[in-house]
Chain A
Amino acid sequence: MKISCNWLKDYICFYLSPQELADKLTNAGLVVADIKSVEEDFCLEVEVTSNRPDCLGIIGIAREVAAVTGGILRYPETNYICESINVSKFINIVVDDSILCPRYTARVIRNVNIKQSPEWMQKRLRCLGLRPVNNIVDITNYVMMETGQPLHTFDLDKLSGQKVIVRRAMAGEEIVAINGARRALFHDMLVIADSKRPVAIAGIIGGKDTEISESTKNILLECAQFEPRQVRRTSRALGITSDSSYRFERGTDFEGVDFASKRAVRLIKEIAGGEIAGGITDINSNKPVKKKITLRMERLNRILGLEMKRDIAVDILNRLQFKIINEVDNYIDVEVPGFRGDVYREIDLIEEIARIYGYNNIPTKTSISVRGSVKSKYERVEDSIRQFLVCLGFYEVKTFSIVDKSPLQSINLWSDSGGIDIANPLRQEESRLRTCLLPSLINIKIYNMHHGVEKVKIFEIAKVYLADDRLPREKTCLGIVADVDFYTLKGIIESLLLNLGIILNCELVTAGVIESKLFKDGKAAKIKLSSNILGYLGEAKEFGFKTSPYMAELDMDLLVEKSNFTKKYQTLSQYPPVFRDLAVIIKEDYIWADIENCVKNTKANYLEEINFFDIYRGKQIPAGMKSIAFNLCFQSQDRTLKSEEVDLAVQTILNSLQETLGAELRKQ
């Protein structure tokens, strides 16, 4: 809300520069975002939080200044002289719904002189960014800015049947608002109607038909209180917001209604002349009970960490216009003024006192109790994977969880259910929760390619969202895209597993249909870890790359579950290992796993390790065959092995390979 410094000084005397005033207000919770010099005045842009509608009027700000500076508040004049003829002669008011309209007041002023408002008023309105219209409209705006209470004026002669009914809209009714907007109204909306039609949407905007014009003679001044949630719902449904709806939906003061009405009438008489009908039509059936709260000093000091004396608290509450009913020992009984709808509990009073006392005057304590914190298994695994991949030259990326509905983004590696759509997306590009990380990583690879980085090694740890019961299943995944070959990426994944203490017993099987949307045919594998699917690995399809990277997506939740950080020392052998390199010629159909399994199944004595090192197809090898070379390591824990016993073991292995797979030792 914008306020004028000069205007503020009508209600409170202070000797502060605009900047000093701004600092004081900011420290009390009213952030001054901007100070502008306007026509020999200063305009302060004050950010008023949604719980403080009382500060949406300059008097409200003045109250805060008074609380902070200890100055004395001066309220503006509201008295006026009226005719003997009563307002009820001119208008009959009916309130149908006293819940949605707790208070409705009306006053009538006849024979007003519509013209421009005086320069001083126009200047103040301009300072606040309001456009002057005519004296009557300007006065209602002026009083709203002054008190925070919205008001509305009707051209009395245009209201049919001398009647105002506050009721719900009826089927088929519509209204053209002052701003020209035509809106159909619905039954849950509250309107102000005359005997024929709605003439205003309650608390939001007036109708064009009954607005104040140059020819207006007699006016009806409405000043009311409307139920905040109702105003908010209607304002949102119709897409109309106004200074009035902004204030009503935050809550106005029941008692402030008559004050604002009288203040406006006084100004009308002063500025536009006319005769004021006697009395007031004031329909109110739900006068709120004054809230009383007991504040315990002991509670206040415990919550704030202070040792404040009672008289200081009492002083602050007084300055904030709270009424002290009683104070004894460590208790203060307080009556809350009507304009402070936000204060209804002891804790609210504690905040008020803290606010004015100054948050920066509350001590900074460093005496919280000792407590150990333990890293969860998930944390450990996540940290370990990040560290591992970063050291291997990978960059971590972060991409959006909300994606488009393209076929690529619709790929779901992890479940058969569809994606989860956003009901109110901003754009189609971000309208569904992703079911797979790799499409986003592919886009990052392409983005970098277009920015001159040809080769990337990237990964992301993030969630995919799989439709489930009421809430989706959120699965954390690890996505990897790297310009390396298949076996390098496979090796990285295997090392990563070892690093997490997962014993390498994962199995690669040929990938299925879904994976073929991401990976090239025959160049992809599903990774199984015991009976679970750990993830997928393969060469990326043509996504517009110059060279296809290899990619993998792994189930992080499974990695966390299977990871094991307990370690046990294995005795180091005192005796040297014996190595033997072998190359066998074998049919093309057999794979390395066949050889490895065959060798392991022989359970040859002292065989510790078998390591692949080369594959060869060429001149010396018959067609349809290949030569596979590997290294065997033999070792004993208790003695040095003799050459002859290793020879014997190697022979057993060769025999088994020959019998099972038809593999022959390749001669030099």
Chain B
Amino acid sequence: MELLNNLALGFGVAFTPINLMYCFIGCILGTLIGVLPGIGPVATIAMLLPATYALPPVSALIMLAGIYYGAQYGGSTTAILVNLPGESSSVVTTIDGYQMARKGRAGPALAAAGLGSFFAGTVGTLILAAFAPPLTELAFKFGPAEYFSLMVLGLVGAVVLASGSLLKAVSMIILGLLLGLIGTDVNSGVARYSFDIPELTDGIGFVVVAMGVFGYGEIISNLSRPEDEREVFTAKVEGLFPTKEDFKNMLPAVMRGTALGSLLGVLPGGGALLAAFAAYTIEKKTKLRPGEVPFGQGNIRGVAAPESANNAGAQTSFIPLLTLGIPPNAVMALMVGAMTIHNIQPGPQVMTSNPQLFWGLIASMWIGNLMLVILNLPLIGMWIKLLTVPYRFLFPAIVLFCAIGVYSTNNNTFDIWMVAAFGLVGYVFVKLGVEPAPLLLGFILGPMMEENLRRALLLSRGDWFVFATRPLSASLLGAALVLLVIVLLPSIRSKRAEAFVED
């Protein structure tokens, strides 16, 4: 019953005209960047963070969240119609989605993605609402040692579940932690690594890092490749509704995708991308029903399952953020930043100190999902038109919005020079094949980790075993260790490499 009361409070907040409007804006922007390949939710949220300064905190977070899950919807449109993932989490949707479009079944494919996402979004939001309070209770039992161990687990999980070289990902985390330490140390007042530059004593803004590395770095690397040939199926989208047979095939796939996505979304490093990959892999393993189209040739399950999974994952990845204050992926790291801008300390106390914000945000997610189905299915034609806008008109606009956004954070040109520097750094990362997402996680967690380490060791009088003797902390560290060992086992290692390569 308490859940119902809480949800009622949330819907009360979310249904005010101003919040409905920002939810709508967020969903539109999310769909927009989801549809457009070459710009992702991380760069967009970073760009818009400064603009949310003037908004009330609830509206700001509602809008930013809308961008994230809206991008999951939009990404599928591009994947199905152009064979390009509009969003990284739609990579696997291209396999069967595009084949369906080629066979003139773009409509059912889009409907499967949209309806599957809506179902998954609803379930994901309910799970978030149901599990957030008990997890918050647990979080209040955490001392500094537990928090430190939890962050270690979070960071380890983030690299273990990500693709690419483990060694380089761990190095990127540490680099991020170090960059996060730049600026004035809260305990001693010493300005670390700031070279007597006044702007650096406040630390490097995470907006600067995110925009430079994810925004500019990506643009430069996109421009250094020849432009992809785009073949857009614009005329063929008619007969949106799937047949009865489609529904029969779709339904179990949507269920499986939703369950898997909800589960993986909670894990650190999980979220939308991993969920989509895992869901597709599972669908491929299940038996084909007689008369069903094989995978890779336009099977509707190959669209419904990953799209449901990525949307469910996008919703449940809010759980660690809202209950523990620990971001499980780069987008959530930016949400931490957004909360800090509005003077909200992310963590278990948000639910009790800002119940309107907490439940309002959750309720808005369901409303947003509903808006997205309407935005994406009947209005699909509008988004298809967008795909005909060439990249040469888009990237100057992205550069401009980054520059304006970064300047308005502090009204200081120093940030503009810094974002240029990080743009160069971001391109170097691309060239060296290192993933930037772990860097951003480390960057956000750096100061928090130092503070908790310091407090834990102060309480234990310098005894490092405190992390192993407190049961909660020990089990968290144990889980991190198990994850590392599992991923380093040769047999799993080759499987992991396989899972991220699709045939």
Q: Do A and B come from one complex?
A: no
